[in-house]
Amino acid sequence: MDKEELKTRKVSAFNLGCDKNRVDLEHVLFALKEYGFTLTENIEDAEIIFVNTCAFIAPARKEAIDAILTAINEKKYGKAEKVIVGGCLPQRNLQELKHALPEVDYFLDYKNNSNIINVIEELYDVKTTKFNFAEHKRVLTNPSHYAYLKIADGCNNACAYCAIPRIRGRFRSTPIDELVKEAKELSVNGVKELILVAQDVSRYGTDIDCSLIDLLNELVKIKGIEWIRLHYLYPELVTDELLDFIKNQPKMCKYVDIPLQHIDDIVLKNMNRRSTESQIIELIDKLRTKYPEISIRSTFIVGFPGETRKQFKKLCNFLKKYKLDNVGFFPFFKEPNTKAFFYKKQVPEFIKKRRLKKIEDLQGDIAIFNNISRIGEVHKAIIDYYDEENKYFVARTEFCSPNVDFCVIISGDVKVGEFYNIEITDLSELGYKGEVK
């Protein structure tokens, strides 16, 4: 086969896991498209299937294996000729995967994504050539008016329950000039909202002699970018300088995502978290008093080894008191190659499930209380998509991040990807109902 014949192949690629993984895939997709491949969302039409996997927790690995088996099935019985598996799973379980899934043609280490074209050429026995992998260019896999900007990879925090440092290595910031170049490219292609992501956004620049504020000062200058949102700020690194910048800079969404994970000091210490209960409360009190316009999102783990009924109740009482705007909960997963895997006093699964339901129900009531308080307010919102089945538009305010927070349901003459001033008029199953003002 020659190179021109290879380019006639259709490629289907899909992402599993976090939005940092999504960004990696979008760079790969651009390389595939730039080379000459046709991209298709339907794997039944593809000769080459790329599965970008997640390996963070057991359910993610199961989902990844199921997706790989689906791709292998297409290779056995459909049009597919090659199956390539990338992302975190090969990085974590390479030898086991090679043994268990010999039908996969290539396992691509995520650090070698730039070699994707050469990998495919080698699989088809085509003479490989030097291909310029444009690191700053992407094919977006979400609505084109927002994009995730991965500002760093890896993590130094060594939380007892997390395998990310083993999978992704130590924290590595991407230089500011590279991120600005990528952000400008996204803006030219219609992106209006940048969502900055990393395992620890607040640590940005500590390894390359700059800071998150330095980066933000450059990003806010980019024409066409109207919103900048921050995901995953570790509580001990949320400074007054950063909060002042969010409060006073018009392009910054008044929104912080701060994974707290728990509130009890003993649990936090066992988790190897750096914050204490008093420090967390001090931060939330500061946000509520000095920065009341900033919406707070967080995540918590229930059923961590040794978590007692009293400690769980303390977490519930914390949520009742502080009424955080958006919260996600996860049961503890006993992950191999983590410190917590070896902890004694593992909480039984049935207790985890019971606690998870109880705390989710509690937060549901808190969310209703919070949402009712916003009725009558008018906020700038962006239209994310039109729901064909239900015949309404779905929008978001700056207090809501895509796919994880509450939406606003509206009708009327609006356009996807545009901003409007919307009055919150009532509650809906997704969060709010609103009208364009």
- Domains, the chain, ordered by start: 3-123 (3.40.50.12160), 146-374 (3.80.30.20), 378-436 (2.40.50.140)
Is the pLDDT reported for residue 431 higher than 80? yes
CB-based contact 228:219 (threshold 8 Å): yes
At residue 109, the 3 state secondary structure works out as coil
Instruction: Specify the pLDDT at position 46.
Output: 97
Distance CA 135, CA 138 (A): 8
Does the pLDDT at position 101 exceed 80?
Answer: yes
Mean pLDDT, range 271-284, rounded to an integer: 97
Q: pLDDT confidence of 311, banded at 50, 70, 90? A: very high
What is the rounded average pLDDT of the residues 237-259?
97
pLDDT tens-digit map of 116-161: 999 999 999 998 777 777 778 999 999 999 999 999 999 999 999 9
* Residue 412 predicted with pLDDT over 90: no
What's the pLDDT at 14? 86
92 pLDDT band, cuts 50/70/90, is confident
Q: How far is CA 51 from CA 68, 170, 422, in A?
A: 7, 24, 39
pTM score, two decimals? 0.94
| pLDDT of amino acid 59 | 93
Q: Could you tell me the pLDDT band of residue 91, with boundaries at 50, 70 and 90?
A: confident
**Which two three-digit tokens encode residue 297?**
């999102």
**What mean pLDDT comes out for the span 303-309?**
98
3-class SS shares of the chain: helix, strand, coil, % to 5? 40, 20, 40
- The proportion of the chain whose per-residue pLDDT surpasses 70, expressed as a percent, equals 100
Mean local confidence (pLDDT), 351-357:
98
Average pLDDT score over residue span 340-368: 96
d(CA 33, CA 49): 14
pLDDT in tens, 379-394: 999 999 999 999 999 9
3 state DSSP class of 106: strand
The predicted pLDDT at position 351 comes to 98
Q: Determine the pLDDT at residue 90.
A: 92
CB 89 within 8 A of CB 61: yes
pLDDT at 428: 83
- Give 330's strand partners: 301
Strand order across the beta sheet in which 82-87 lies: 38-39, 10-15, 48-53, 82-87, 106-107
Q: How far apart are CA 118 and CA 131, in angstroms?
A: 8
* DSSP code string of 5-16: HHTT-EEEEEE-
Question: CA nearest 303: which of 360, 257, 368, 256?
Answer: 360
Rounded to an integer, the average pLDDT of 3-14 is: 94
* C-alpha to C-alpha distance for 47 and 165, rounded to whole angstroms: 34
Q: What is the 3-state secondary structure (H, E, C) of 138-183?
A: CCCCCCCCEEEEECEECCCCCCCCCCHHHHHCCCEECCHHHHHHHH
